[in-house]
Amino acid sequence: MRIEILHEAEAELNEAITYYEEIESGLGIRLKEEVRAVIQWIGDNPEGPRLRPKGYRQVNLRVLCSLFHLE
């Protein structure tokens, strides 16, 4: 499967990595590593996440869920 990351999405991710790294050393790096792992997982399992009513699939990032105490 070919995965394309839009330039705007990559720029937004880089901003988020910088932001979270400023909040807590290592947190931005954890975010970056998890995003890479999730992108790889999506490539290996494109039908894994359920299709949402508006036609997209969603994968939550654990590092952000733990940061905000979400499940």
Q: Is residue 30 part of a domain?
A: yes
Structural domain boundaries, residue 45: 7-67
Q: Is residue 2 part of a domain?
A: no
Q: Is residue 1 part of a domain?
A: no
Q: Is 8 exposed, middle or buried (0-12, 13-18, 19+ CB in 10 A)?
A: exposed
Domain count, the chain: 1
Residues 6 or more apart in contact with residue 31 via CB below 8 angstroms: 16, 17, 20, 61, 63, 64
Ordered per-residue pLDDT tens for the chain, 71 residues: 788 889 999 999 999 999 999 988 999 999 999 999 999 999 999 888 888 999 888 888 887 666 554 44
Predicted model pTM: 0.78
Identify residue 45 by its one-letter amino acid code: N
Within 13 Å of residue 45, how many CA atoms lie on the same side as its CB?
A: 11
